[in-house]
Every structure is written in structure tokens, then in C-alpha cells.
Amino acid sequence: MNTLKEKIKRGEKALGTHVQLNNYQTTELIASLGYDYIWLDTEHTSISLEQVEYHLMAARAWGVTTLVRVPWNDPVRMKPILEMGPGGIIVPMVNSYEEALMAVKGMMYPPRGTRGFGPRHANMYGNIPLDEYLKDADENIMRVIQIEHIDAVRDLKRIVTIDEIDAFIIGPMDLSASIGKMGKIDDPEVSALIDEIIATVHAAGKPVGVSFGMCPKEVIAQWRDRGVDMISLANEHDFIAAQGKIVLDNMKEVMLGK
């Protein structure tokens, strides 16, 4: 059973963070802290397929769902990761109904989808009987697409009609960049697009989340008040840098009088 998927179905908020470094011990440590899910990013990082599997096993040991963001909307990129049994796949930069349909079909077996058969870790190397595995295989994968371009917003009313999409994630940086205002998240035009996304997704009865960096409670509260169902904040190098700076400042104050 996909615990994250079930949690969201119950209408509960889901809290996650990102993992971007190659070392799977960081995933193991973060998984032990109590996050609902880990967003493992292979779009903007050098994490290899071999390392993805180690990260997945580290999180699974703590019962934490891992969503793997693939580099692009490409079934070939998704296939080997699906065989590792992740909790879900996040597909970036999905900008049309046709692209969204291709993404979800690549995550499901025929007749609903186009996924080729060849599970490894996903069916415990054949130790899960075929009929038992296939009964829940499609439903155990959380299918998530990112809305992070003005073209996607323009076609969102069609995209949300695809039943097989389990959740939508807003990418504020790329969304703002797509209208020539990169990083201006609070710009009225960007804010209006974000609110439109949330309203459209919720009107279709689907959950919507946001992926953001390290931020104060006030910003978290803004996303809460906007009604997001999932929120993914910061990453492990943010954690290391932030706490490392506190320790260094404390040492400077005490030892050097600075």
C-alpha cells in the first residue's frame, strides 16, 4: 500500500523535503526524522540509476514514501526507476493534455498504459506472485505531474480531466520564468497564475502541492492559506549549510569574541 497516496486520499496534508546529493545515507537520516515523503531529484542532479535504488532502499527501511522526479517526460527514463518500486514518479514540465496523457500511460501497464513488463525490486525479484503484483501495481504508483509553465496553465482544464493523475505540483520558479519574471514569486501576475492552478486542480477534486526552497514559517503559512495539500521544502544541503553556519557563528562568538 502506498502510504502517501492513502494519506492524501484521506484529505490530510503531506509534508516532504528534497534529496539532491548522491549519498544514500542522507536519505536514511532524513527518512528517520518523520517526513511523509522524500522527493528524490534526478532532474537537476548527478544522481545515477544505481544511486536511485540505494536511496529508495534507505527510505523504504523507515517506511517513508519516495517520489522520484525524472529528468523529462520520457517513458524510457521512467521505466528503470519504476522497476525499482518507488512510491511515485514526478514528471517535470508537462505543458499540455497530450503530454500529461503520455506521462501517465508510461507509468501503467496495458491495457490502461504502455509500460513494458520487467519489474525487479518492484515485485521483489519475482517473490511476489504475478497475479498479486499486477493487481495493485498501477495503483501503488503515485503519478504526479508538475505544472510549471504558462502553456500548462492554459491547458490545465483539459489536463485535470485525466483520472490517472494522482497529484499536481506547482513549480514556482519555472512558472515565473515562463512569463519572463523568474524568481518574482510574489509578482501579481505570477501569484494569479498560482492561484488559478490551485483553484482549477481543486475544482477537479485533485490534490495540489508546491516545491520550494528553504523558507520561514511566514512563507509556509502563505502556501497553507492558499490551500496546498502537499508541500516539499528545502533539501539536505540546505540543512547542512544552515546548521553548519549556526555552529560556526557560535564558535566565532565564544572563541573569538566576534
Which residues are marked as active site? 44
157 CA to centre of own chain: 21
DSSP string, 118-140: --SGGGGGGTS-HHHHHHHTTTT
| 49 C-beta neighbours (distance < 10 Å), count | 12
What is the Cα–Cα distance from 83 to 98, expressed in whole angstroms?
24
Length of the chain in terms of residues written: 258
DSSP H helices, 108-187, are: 130-136, 150-154, 156-159, 172-177
- Give how far Cα 117 sits from Cα of 36, 107, 108, Å: 29, 11, 10
Report d(CA 148, CA 171) in Å as an integer. 5
Give the alpha-carbon dihedral of 218, 35, 214, 151, to 10 degrees. Answer: -90
